[in-house]
Amino acid sequence: MTFISDNMLDAALNYMVTHGDRMDICSQEPANVTEATSTYSLGNKTGVSAGAPENGDSSGRKSTIEAVAGGTVTDEDLATHWGFSKMTATAELLVANSIASPQNVYTANPWSMGAVAVTMPDPA
């Protein structure tokens, strides 16, 4: 069985913690920063941060991206995914996932979502 130390898992999570700063809601799962912040983006919020790595709920390590309130809606459609990106220096999509309860979003209304945990599980 492979062993990976918590320090190795934390290094990856700390990259997200240090560089992530923009959350987008998307009409489908983005595979890169252009898709997350333009092609599939329905809205965004800048200045979003993630917390320090800690023990995962069942294994491994996790970092929790803070809840978002007052996000700007830029296009109307069904928001099914989110993407958390680094927008300084070389922009990069850091992590993306599905939204637990997809919702239609409208430009007249701001969007919000709860905190999301990004977990790197221990090897099986």
Q: Give the model confidence (pLDDT) of 76-103 as tens digits.
A: 999 999 999 999 989 999 999 999 999 9
Average pLDDT over residues 108-114: 95
Dump pLDDT digits (tens) for 49-68: 999 999 999 999 999 999 99
pTM attached to this predicted model: 0.95
Q: Is residue 87 included in any domain, yes or no?
A: yes
Q: What angle is formed at CA 48 by the lines to CA 46 and CA 53, rounded to 5 degrees?
A: 155
Q: Is residue 88 included in any domain, yes or no?
A: yes
Q: Is residue 1 included in any domain, yes or no?
A: no
What's the rounded Cα separation, in Å, for the pair 12 and 60? 12
Q: Is residue 20 included in any domain, yes or no?
A: yes
Alpha helices (H) in the chain, listed in sequence order: 6-19, 33-34
Domain residues for 77?
6-120
Provide the pLDDT for residue 2: 85
What's the rounded Cα separation, in Å, for the pair 110 and 123? 39
- Cβ proximity of 36 and 45 under 8 Å: no
Please count the structural domains in the chain. Answer: 1
